[in-house]
């Protein structure tokens, strides 16, 4: 049913329909409205979950780990400093192969303290073994939750997933969102079928320590599972498309890329602005397109390579920076194209800490890229430096 909802509430409605049995979360802007909405649903018995009011994000994810290991479907949400506080547990959850789904309302990392959007928080956890899916709008944020659970819980995957959507820009924006019915979601996402759980009738040890003789093989298994997740995501996304009419079979999405000379690459809500700018530039006769990355982990290298095959200039918009190197998305794209493409890949660090991006900024990036000027912070206010 189509409803006009705040992004956070659209996500909360999606989570409710995924029927988590245990929720543990700690409030932090701009994630707060999600967990408040879920708490209300539990208080009204609209959602049959145990809501654990933990004392920190560190405990939130730890409690989720325990609940998942004991056989329940679980949920959490956080952002920025909260995600950073979970760092240690994030690796643990992945290492123990618990298919937890967590929403990240993307926000900049302090210092300086900044509550607005960029994607530094989740990007900084890219190596933890979690899948990371980025939503362009609130419809996608909603839909990715059903898909994330289904992919995470697939027995060929069994990895946790972050559904990332931009703080404020999406969390606090009202948009029409088509929310499926509970029956529809139940049919798409059946009850959780855990493997290897804590059960007194069948004792086993979880999270033991492993010597150099075994540790590498555990890491290898996670990596292989992450690779399998590409195919599983595509299948689940296609199935979602057949059921709900919105196709997510692609880990990437191309927009007017077919004959493009210049391709912009981006993740998250900025893609909406880029699409509009691309339309305008196309009217001006510029052959520009967008490659939207939907899944950052697993990273769809093959798909990126294929999509950018005919492009001569690639301009990556990075809402993060790996300090001392470049933006993380640009590094991935360069790696994907390495050895197969003559395209120039230029990186633009943009929209950090919530700075606004308009269509004219996208056009300016394309102008720079066409001149071969890149690998820089875009729109630096040199007068305040």
Among 144, 298, 304, 132, residue whose Cα is nearest residue 222: 298
Task: Based on the shown chain and the rule CB under 8 A, indicate whether residue 89 belongs to the binding site for another protein.
Answer: yes
Task: Based on the shown chain and the rule CB under 8 A, indicate whether residue 306 belongs to the binding site for another protein.
Answer: no
Report, in Å, the least distance between residue 235 CB and another protein.
Answer: 29
Report, in Å, the least distance between residue 120 CB and another protein.
Answer: 24
Please name the residues in contact with 68: beta carbons below 8 A apart, sequence gap of 6 or more. 22, 74, 93, 98, 99, 100, 194
Taking residues 19 to 58 in sequence order and writing x for each that binds another protein by CB under 8 A, - otherwise, the string is: --xx-x------------------------xx-xxxxx-x
How many other CB atoms are there within 10 angstroms of residue 21's CB atom? 18
Task: Based on the shown chain and the rule CB under 8 A, indicate whether residue 96 belongs to the binding site for another protein.
Answer: yes
Task: Based on the shown chain and the rule CB under 8 A, indicate whether residue 94 belongs to the binding site for another protein.
Answer: no
Distance CA 64, CA 35 (A): 14
Label residue 296 left, alpha or beta by phi (over 0 means left) and psi (-120 to 50 means alpha): alpha
Write out the binding residues for another protein, residues 173-232 only, by CB under 8 A: 198-200, 202-211, 214
Nearer to another protein, 198 or 364 (CB): 198
Do residues 71 and 81 lie in contact, with contact meaning Cβ atoms separated by under 8 Å? no
State which of residues 5, 25, 38, 64 lies at the interface with another protein (CB under 8 A). Answer: 64
State which of residues 71, 254, 272, 379 lies at the interface with another protein (CB under 8 A). Answer: 71
Distance CA 208, CA 206 (A): 6
Stretch in the footprint of another protein (CB under 8 A) among 67-75, 140-148, 246-254, 265-273: 67-75
Distance CA 143, CA 246 (A): 9
Backbone angles phi, psi at 174, to 5 degrees: -90, 130
Nearer to another protein, 201 or 381 (CB): 201
Nearer to another protein, 32 or 92 (CB): 92
Report, in Å, the least distance between residue 382 CB and another protein.
Answer: 44
State which of residues 32, 59, 301, 376 lies at the interface with another protein (CB under 8 A). Answer: 59
Distance CA 145, CA 34 (A): 13
Report, in Å, the least distance between residue 221 CB and another protein.
Answer: 13
Please name the residues in contact with 271: beta carbons below 8 A apart, sequence gap of 6 or more. 136, 255, 290, 292
Report, in Å, the least distance between residue 188 CB and another protein.
Answer: 22
From residue 19, how far is each of 56, 179, 188, 355 by CA, in Å?
23, 15, 12, 36
Report, in Å, the least distance between residue 204 CB and another protein.
Answer: 6
Q: Which residues bind another protein (CB under 8 A)?
A: 21-22, 24, 49-50, 52-56, 58-59, 62-72, 74, 88-89, 92, 96, 198-200, 202-211, 214
């Amino acid at each position: 049913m189509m409803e006009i909802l705040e992004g956070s509430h659209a996500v909360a409605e999606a989570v409710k329909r995924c029927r988590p049995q245990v929720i543990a979360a700690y409030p932090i802007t701009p994630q707060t409205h999600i967990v408040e909405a879920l708490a209300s649903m539990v208080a009204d018995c609209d959602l049959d979950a145990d809501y654990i009011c933990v004392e920190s994000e560190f405990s939130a994810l730890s409690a989720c780990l325990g609940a998942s290991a004991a056989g329940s479907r679980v949920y959490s949400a956080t952002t920025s400093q909260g995600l950073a506080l979970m760092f240690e547990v994030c690796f643990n959850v992945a290492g123990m192969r618990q298919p937890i789904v967590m929403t990240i309302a993307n926000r900049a990392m302090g210092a300086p303290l900044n509550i607005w959007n960029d994607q530094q928080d989740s990007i900084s956890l890219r190596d933890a073994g979690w899948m990371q899916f980025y939503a362009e709008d609130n419809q996608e944020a909603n839909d990715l939750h059903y898909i994330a659970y289904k992919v995470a819980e697939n027995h060929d995957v069994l990895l946790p997933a972050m559904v990332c959507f931009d703080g404020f820009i999406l969390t606090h924006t009202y948009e029409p969102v088509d929310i499926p019915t509970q029956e529809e979601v139940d049919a798409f996402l059946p009850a959780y079928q855990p493997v290897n759980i804590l059960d007194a009738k069948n004792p086993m040890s979880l999270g033991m320590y492993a010597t150099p003789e075994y540790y590498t093989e555990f890491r290898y298994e996670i990596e292989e599972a992450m690779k399998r997740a590409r195919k599983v995501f595509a299948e689940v996304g296609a199935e979602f498309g057949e059921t709900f009419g919105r196709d997510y079979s692609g880990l990437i999405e191309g927009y007017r890329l077919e004959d493009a000379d210049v391709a912009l690459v981006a993740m998250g809500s900025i893609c909406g602005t880029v699409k509009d700018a691309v339309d305008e530039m196309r009217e001006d006769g510029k052959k520009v397109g967008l490659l939207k990355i939907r899944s950052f982990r697993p990273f769809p290298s093959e798909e990126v390579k294929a999509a950018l095959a005919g492009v001569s200039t690639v301009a990556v918009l990075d809402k993060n920076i790996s300090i001392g190197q470049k933006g993380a998305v640009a590094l991935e794209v360069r790696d994907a194209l390495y050895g197969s493409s003559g395209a120039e890949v230029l990186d633009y660090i943009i929209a950090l800490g919530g700075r606004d991006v308009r269509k004219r900024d996208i056009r300016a990036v394309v102008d720079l890229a066409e001149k071969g000027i890149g690998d820089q912070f875009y729109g630096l206010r040199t007068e305040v430096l």
